[in-house]
Structure 1
Amino acid sequence: MEDQEQTHSNSESTPVVPAKTAEKKRDSFLRRLLRFSGRLILFFLSLLLALMLVLHIPVVQNWAAKKASAYLSEEFQTTVSLDYIRIGIFDSFILDEFYIEDLRGDTLLYSKSLQVDLKRGLFGLLFKKLYISEIGLENALVDLERPMGSKDMNYQFILDYFSRNQPVEIEDTIYLEPKNPIDLDISSLRLKNVDFIRKDSARGQDIIAYIGSGLCNFRNINLATKEINITHFTLTKPEVYINQYLGDTLIYNELFVNPPPLLGPVYIKTDTTQLTARIARFRMIDGKFGFHNYFRAPERWTPPDILDYNHMDLFQINMDMRNLRVQGLNFKGKIASMNFKDSTGFVCENISVEDGLVTDTMVVLNDLQIVTPTSNIGDTLIMEYSEYADFKDYVNQVYMIGQFHDARISVEDIMVFAPVLEDNAFFRKNRDEVVSIDGIIRGTVNSLSGRDLEVRLNDDTYLAGGFGSFGLAMPGFVAINLQLDKMSTSVQTLRDLIPNFNPPEIFNKLGRLDFRGRVDGFFSDLVIKGKLATELGNIILDDVILNITGSRETFGYRGGLSLIGFELDRWTDNADLGTITVSSRVIDGQGVTGASAN
């Protein structure tokens, strides 16, 4: 009985909760949690929206501009100013009147308007990540300088900031280990009315450039490996002017020729990789280029229609390049097309190169095609030099190797690039001629040679063999050496080609001339040895020396001369003479007319 009462008492103190009631309580808790979370998210979104709206208030934006200027000034340890900052909602900002000084207090960068469109906002900076969809630079000046007496360019401190190194000392050497730089990703760069100046007092070189408009689309940027990959880069109406002058030879020698030994701990950067840019396609539209070497030639001395390598101006430059790789002063890629004009009136209708390489010691242009109104040249050209400065003395210092296949070269175009040939009577006389060439030519302009050559001049003259020359760019002192496996021409063509060579009309009876042998000497004094086949018979020339500086009456000649089966009757219009075979030696002949012959 007591046990039953106890059991009844316990059952009254612990009531049983129905299952439906417990489920309702759980649902109520989840609803309250969701409402709270939703309100919390709404609160943060409202707060963020309010922050964005506040940042659009001019007073706040001016305050932000001052704070940003102060922050960048502190980070870069130089003056950074910003008049106005306009911050878009979440993903963009515009800097008005943005200015950065270098460490000497001179202008490094000025931009009237710098617009940055972000992919993921500024919050990525907390994790050293900055993702930019586009940077727009308008009405800007970039002024890069190596000041007189300084070894560093004025932007070096910015490069050091974005790729800072941690020193690690091992014995007496301190290695600067690369520290992970900021992860920078830029999709595109848009330029409008941008001036670029690069002054290098050590090299004695100023580069002044202007970009009317430009668009650069990036694939990726890796500051750690110093690699930039670009898909498209287009410049419209760019202008580039290079001025040379006497530089700071002491600094130049220390930097590039003979750096002094280091005293005390040696600091070595473990990463010595040069910045490498790869550009899938580069286009230039309506560009200009000027080069002026005031060190070698303070003023231009040549006439306006003569090329001066110390003072050159090109304009209407259009270029399309593919798969371009740039590392320092080394370039590699394909030129799909290029055309330009210069101030002398020369017109290049097109240049194309399937595979090109430019370094500080050589230029290699494979599958080259150059087209002008009067020339069509291909297919391989190599230029070798010890340094870029050798182009200042192109005719003597730049060694060329040209392999030509069915090339048509006008003498006038040759004279454009070797203007001193204007003083050469042979080239002046034949400037309107076009020469077809197959074979290999090598050497400098003043020491040029050729082998395995086939040369055609119009439809009248054909040469096969090789040649050597000296002094093509030295007026009055041009030496030639011709090894002719075959030469086919006429007396009239020789009159047209060789200055002062004007034999009497009777020589026209020789008809076609086929010569095999050698020709050595100068254009005024030639030594000929070989066999000449004519329509009247064969002539053997044994070291025949011709002096053609004077008139027909003073034309000088000496040497061995043999006539074999020569139709003397046709030569003299005297049927009584017939055909002769005779050998003779002329000691000191003069004159080629009947009255003057001696």
Structure 2
Amino acid sequence: MKVVGKTILALLVLFAVLVLVIRTPWAQNLIVTQLTNYVSSKTHTKVEVDQVYITFSGDIKTEGIYLEDEHGDTLVYARELKLDLPLYPLLFKNQLSIDDGEADGLVVNIKRGSDIDQFNFSFLIDAFSTPTDTTQSSEPMEISLGDFFLSDWKVGYEDDYLGIYVHLLLGTLETDIDQFDLEAMIFDIGDFELGNTQIIYNQTHPFPQTNEPSTSPLPKINVDQFLLNNITYEFDSSPDSIATSRKTKPF
């Protein structure tokens, strides 16, 4: 019994020391350095994270996340990102639960040429993809989302294949998500408030024809309260000969 007691005590002390070490900036920056070096070596692109803070409860705060594409252009940059991400359900229950999230100063540039399968982020999928075993099936991950606050986003989407070019300058977006069901494509949103935002959409040619029928269910989106404040949009579709622009008033 003495040996068992001493063993349990040693394990508790070791765990306490591990908790204290991991919570130090030195240990967390070391983990981030190893992780960014690993991703960079796999993708052969530049990956950086200025600062990170992680707790065992799942609170994550990062600053200065940067990822470039294969041409050296910015793919993703985030000035500050905060997530409340419980780790136990993710590691042991196959559940992804983001209770709260904040993202400030996000820059995203998505591009696709005339090749249907080649986005500028395809190298990430290729670098970390593994051969799949078609004889085995796994349960889909359960996903639940909570409250989100987004501010100062710059998003660009350029798609030569579909002829779609979208530019978004997002001021603020506040929302809380009650249900997020990807299998049934049902999404329930409590509040959705968008402000000080500019959206530009250009369609240069008709969508390519396809003979394959779509088997995916259409999404069902429910929003309890939808608020817009100071929204400017431009819509230009050459195939449909439609062009319009407007600035919304608060309502």
Q: What CA distance in whole angstroms lies between the structure 2 residues aligned with 1:279 and 1:104?
A: 40
Residue of structure 1 in register with 2:219 after alignment: 276
Q: CA deviation at 1:121?
A: 2.9
Q: What CA distance in whole angstroms lies between the structure 1 residues aligned with 2:10 and 2:229?
A: 52
Residue of structure 1 in register with 2:134 after alignment: 167
CA shift in 2, pair 1:112/1:179, >3 Å: same
CA shift in 2, pair 1:105/1:129, >3 Å: farther
Q: What CA distance in whole angstroms lies between the structure 2 residues aligned with 1:79 and 1:274?
A: 38
**Contact 1:240 1:289 (C-alpha < 8 Å) held by counterparts:** yes
1:378-527 to structure 2, matched below 5 A, reads none
Which of 56, 60, 74 is the equivalent residue of 1:93? 60
Residue of structure 2 in register with 1:393 after alignment: none
Q: CA deviation at 1:257?
A: 0.9
1:84-163 to structure 2, matched below 5 A, reads 84-88=51-55, 90-102=57-69, 106-118=73-85, 120-121=86-87, 124-146=90-112, 148-152=113-117, 153-154=119-120
**Contact 2:187 2:221 (C-alpha < 8 Å) held by counterparts:** yes
Q: CA deviation at 1:258?
A: 4.6
Residue of structure 2 in register with 1:425 after alignment: none
**Contact 1:99 1:110 (C-alpha < 8 Å) held by counterparts:** yes
Residue of structure 2 in register with 1:236 after alignment: 195
Q: What CA distance in whole angstroms lies between the structure 2 residues aligned with 1:74 and 1:231?
A: 42
Cα distance per residue 1:479-535 (max 9 Å; x no partner): xxxxxxxxxxxxxxxxxxxxxxxxxxxxxxxxxxxxxxxxxxxxxxxxxxxxxxxxx
Letter in 2 for 1:279: N
Q: State whether structure 2 residue 247 is matched by structure 1 residue 315.
A: yes
Cα distance per residue 1:209-248 (max 9 Å; x no partner): 1221112212233344454432222212221111344x5x
CA shift in 2, pair 1:69/1:129, >3 Å: farther
Q: State whether structure 2 residue 203 is matched by structure 1 residue 203.
A: no
Q: What CA distance in whole angstroms lies between the structure 2 residues aligned with 1:225 and 1:70?
A: 38
Q: CA deviation at 1:134?
A: 1.1
TM-score by length of 1: 0.35
Q: What CA distance in whole angstroms lies between the structure 1 residues aligned with 2:41 and 2:199?
A: 35
SS at the partner of 2:116?
coil
Q: What CA distance in whole angstroms lies between the structure 2 residues aligned with 1:99 and 1:180?
A: 32
CA shift in 2, pair 1:136/1:52, >3 Å: farther
**Contact 1:142 1:195 (C-alpha < 8 Å) held by counterparts:** yes
Q: What CA distance in whole angstroms lies between the structure 1 residues aligned with 2:40 and 2:105?
A: 22
SS at the partner of 2:134?
strand
Q: CA deviation at 1:184?
A: 2.8
Letter in 2 for 1:55: I
**Number of matched residues?**
246
SS at the partner of 2:33?
helix
Q: What CA distance in whole angstroms lies between the structure 2 residues aligned with 1:103 and 1:224?
A: 33
Cα distance per residue 1:6-33 (max 9 Å; x no partner): xxxxxxxxxxxxxxxxxxxxxxx8xx89
**Contact 1:115 1:137 (C-alpha < 8 Å) held by counterparts:** yes
Q: CA deviation at 1:273?
A: 2.0
Q: What CA distance in whole angstroms lies between the structure 1 residues aligned with 2:158 and 2:143?
A: 28
CA shift in 2, pair 1:73/1:279, >3 Å: farther
Q: CA deviation at 1:200?
A: 1.6
Residue of structure 2 in register with 1:493 after alignment: none
Q: CA deviation at 1:84?
A: 2.0
Unaligned runs of 5+ in 2: none
SS at the partner of 2:20?
helix
Letter in 1 for 2:25: P
Q: What CA distance in whole angstroms lies between the structure 2 residues aligned with 1:157 and 1:186?
A: 28
**Contact 2:89 2:97 (C-alpha < 8 Å) held by counterparts:** no
SS at the partner of 2:139?
coil
**Contact 1:165 1:179 (C-alpha < 8 Å) held by counterparts:** no
Which of the pair has the greater relative contact order for Cα pairs under 8 Å at 6+ separation? 2
**Contact 2:53 2:61 (C-alpha < 8 Å) held by counterparts:** yes
Which of structures 1 and 2 has the bigger CA Rg? 1
Which of 123, 143, 155 is the equivalent residue of 1:184? 143
Q: CA deviation at 1:159?
A: 8.5
**Contact 2:51 2:62 (C-alpha < 8 Å) held by counterparts:** yes
**Contact 2:95 2:141 (C-alpha < 8 Å) held by counterparts:** yes
Q: State whether structure 2 residue 234 is matched by structure 1 residue 290.
A: yes
**Contact 1:133 1:187 (C-alpha < 8 Å) held by counterparts:** yes
Q: CA deviation at 1:54?
A: 2.1
SS at the partner of 1:233?
strand
Letter in 2 for 1:222: D
Q: What CA distance in whole angstroms lies between the structure 2 residues aligned with 1:203 and 1:81?
A: 32
Unaligned runs of 5+ in 1: 1-28, 169-176, 262-270, 297-307, 320-598
**Contact 2:90 2:97 (C-alpha < 8 Å) held by counterparts:** yes
User: Root-mean-square deviation (CA), in Å?
Assistant: 4.1
Percent identity reads 20
Cα distance per residue 1:434-485 (max 9 Å; x no partner): xxxxxxxxxxxxxxxxxxxxxxxxxxxxxxxxxxxxxxxxxxxxxxxxxxxx
Letter in 2 for 1:167: T
TM-score by length of 2: 0.74
